[in-house]
A = this chain, B = another copy of it.
Amino acid sequence: MSPRNCLSVMEDLAGFSDAEPPHLVRLKRLVPLAPNATDALLAAGMHATAFEARREVIRTGAMLCGPLILTQGWAAQVREFHDGRRQILHLLLPGDMISIPQGPRTYAATTTLALTDTRVAPAPPAENGLGTAYALSAEIERFCHLRQIARIGRLDAYERMADLFLELFDRFRLAGLAASDSFALPLTQETLADCLGLTSVHVNRTLRQLRQEGMIDDRRRAVRLMDADRLRSIVDYHPLTAIWGAADLKSDTVAPT
């Protein structure tokens, strides 16, 4: 790997240096978009609000006023218990959408929390094919929720970690943010633990095992999957594409690695 590693590549992207912003790449890959739709998305990206890490973007029960787009940084849907326990229901990556209203609901079902410093933009109105893209985006989120249930319910720590990494890898590729075999992961082990239903100590032990077995390389706040196919077969991985047919994630990507 060149000194310009995958992380720095992705930081460039996050800054919109020269490539398209992740939410545009992502939605375009879900649905072919007309020029006025892509223009609207680009324009929306300019009106993003910044949230510092640990800030709440939306609180459970809050009134919703239209869908949002996470243009930079990581966020999460979380459920907090009064004794301090916390479960991350779903990780939100740059380019993901937040709280797409489906039907007449007006209240947020979960709290959305910024995990890193983030930027959040209001999504443009659902015109010119964007409605379809938003719906598909919501469908993917639903699929991830289901996978999260199966992951936590029936996989052991090693498998959970691998399965999560595979999902993140797929989702990053969808947004054009993954190198050929790696992606940025700016989360603490504590946060990973809250996502996987484990403790941070055990996350640490599990990462060490994955590392020692040569399955991953997780230096510099990024993860490289050394043998994604083997991991996929270990955890019986169900790809994201199962739900909408065909979109080809292989033919990616932004970085020469």
Chain A residues near B (Cβ < 8 Å): 60-61, 77, 79, 81-83, 85-87, 89, 102-105, 107, 109-110, 131-132, 134-136, 138-139, 142-143, 145-150, 152-154, 196-197, 236, 238, 242-245
Question: With a CB–CB cut-off of 8 A, which chain B residues contact A82?
Answer: 236
Could you jot down 9 A-B contacts, CB within 8 Å? Answer: A79-B150, A82-B236, A89-B150, A102-B102, A103-B136, A104-B136, A107-B244, A142-B142, A153-B196
Closest residue on chain B to residue A147 by CB atoms: B79
What separation, in Å, do the CA atoms of A201 and B108 have in the docked complex? 37
What separation, in Å, do the CA atoms of A254 and B81 have in the docked complex? 33
Q: Are A87 and B154 in contact (CB under 8 A)?
A: yes
Q: Are B83 and A236 in contact (CB under 8 A)?
A: yes
Closest residue on chain B to residue A233 by CB atoms: B82
Q: How far is the CB of A153 from chain B (nearest CB, A)?
A: 3
